[in-house]
Chains A and B, each alone.
Chain A
Amino acid sequence: MKRARDAWNRFWFEPGPAAALGICRVLFFGSLLLWQLRHDFSPWGAYSSVFWMPIWLFDTFSVPLLPASTIAAVQMIWKAALFFAAIGLFTRVAMVVAFVLGTYLMGLPHNFGQTQHFDTLVVFICGALAVSRAADAWSVDAWRAARRHPSAWPRPDDGEYTWPIRFVWVAMSMIFCAAGISKLRHSGLEWIFSDNLALLLQRQQYHISDGEPWTNWGIWVAAHPWVARGMAASSVAIETLFPLSLFSRHARRILVPAGLLFLVGIRALMGPTFEQFMLCYVFWIPWRTVLSRTGARVVSVSERRVQVDTRTADAPARPLPLRS
C-alpha cells in the first residue's frame, strides 16, 4: 500500500519547474484562443427547439439553450478569459471562467444531434488548469508578484507544477486507450483484418464528415488492402498501447509522436477535425530540457536558489511565503 502511494505521489507530485507549466499555459490558452477566435457559437441559439437534443450534462443539470444574443455575449467573455489566461493576468479568475464558459460553449453543439469528441480533452485541461498554479511563471501575475516580493520569485520546483502536466498525459492516454478498446469491443480484430478501413476511407469522400479530408489519398490507401489493414493495425495499436507512454520513456518517444501523426492522418484522409486535440500536445514537450538547451534562464529554480544562498552563505535562507 505504501509503495503504491509512493509511486502515485512520485508520478503526480515530483517537483517540477514552474516555467514548464507556465509555458504550457501560454501555448495552450493562446493557441486555443487563436483556433476559436473566428468560431461563432451564437447561431446555435437561433434554431428551433426541435433541434435541441440535450446530452447528459445539459439534461442532468438543466442547462438551457440560451438565445443567440446571450451566447454571443458569453463567447465574448470566454474569449477574453482565454486571452487573460494566456498572458497570465488575473489568471485564476480567467482560467475558471474559461473552464465554466468553455464547457458550456464547447458542449453546446453536441446537443444538436451528434456528440463529437474533438474537444473533451480541451474541457478537461481547462478544468485542471483552473485549479492549478499555472500562473506562477510566464505570466503577468508572476511578474507583478515578483516586483512586490522579489525574494519569493521565481518559485522553487514543486509538485504543483507537475500534476497538471501529468493530468494531460493521463487524460490523453485514457482517451486514446478508450477509443482503441471501443474498436476491439465492437468489432474485434475484424476492424483490422477486414475491408473495414478501406470502405471507411472511401465513404469519407462522399461529403459526410464534419470536415473535408485534407487530401484524397484515402482512395489510394483503400485501393491497397494491405496498406489499409496495416494502417488499421497501427491505429488500434497506437490507441490501446498509448498509456505505456506514462510509464516508459522509450514508449513515450514512439507513441506520443505516433499519436500525433495518427491524428494528422485522420484529418488528412478522413476529415474529422482533431485540431483542438492536437493543441494539447504542448504538454508533452519536455520544456525543462528545451529551455536548458536553448540557453534560456535555468529552469531548475531550486538549483539557482542554492547558488544564491551560497554567495550569501552567512545570511539565513528566507522561507518562501505560501500561496493560497
Chain B
Amino acid sequence: MQIFTISDERVLTICEMSETTTGKDQQWLERLQSGDQEVLVLLYKNNHTMIRSYVLKNQGRNEDAEDLLQDALIVLWQKVQQENFVLSSKLSTYIMAVCKNLWLKRLGKQQRLEGEDKILPHLHVTADNFSEISDFKHLQKAMDEIGETCKKLLMMFYFDGNDMEQIARKMQFANADTAKAKKYQCFKKLETLIKSRFNKSDFIG
C-alpha cells in the first residue's frame, strides 16, 4: 500500500502538467472565444462543488465561494479572449488554480485584480472601488447612449482585452484600421458624455 503526502499546491501543479484539455473543454473554449457567455454558467455549475469545498476548507463561506468562482470565470473569460491564450490543463484545473490565486490574495488582503490577472495593468481603478469613483447609473446611461456597437467595442477593447484585429474580426469590420477608427469615435463619444455627466472632482482629473 503506497503512502504519499502531497501539498495542495503541488497537486495542482502536477495536475496542470499531467492533465490535458479534453474535447469538451476545447468546445467550451471555442464558444467562450466566440463570445458565448452561457458557457460561463455551465462552468460555474460544473466547478461550484470543487471551489466551494476549497473555500470552506480555507476559512471561507458559501458566499465567498460563489463570489470567488464568479471572479475566476471572469478572469477566464478575459484570458480566453486573448489571442495568445493556450490552455495546457483541464478547464476545471485552470479554474481551480485561478480561484486559489484569487483566494490567497483575498486572504492576504491583496487587491483582486493584480498582476497577471489584470487586463489593464497600469490601471489603479478596479471593479471593487468602482462605486467609489462614480455613480453606476450615470455610467450605465452613458454607455447606453453611445449605442450598442460602441458599448460592445469599448468593452471588447478595455474589458476583454481584445486587440484591433480581433475586434475587427468579431465585429465584422473591414480591417483593424476601421476598428481603430471606430474605437476612437466611440471613445470620444463616451468621453464627452462622461465629462458632461460626472463631477470633475469625481472623474476628470
Q: Do A and B come from one complex?
A: no
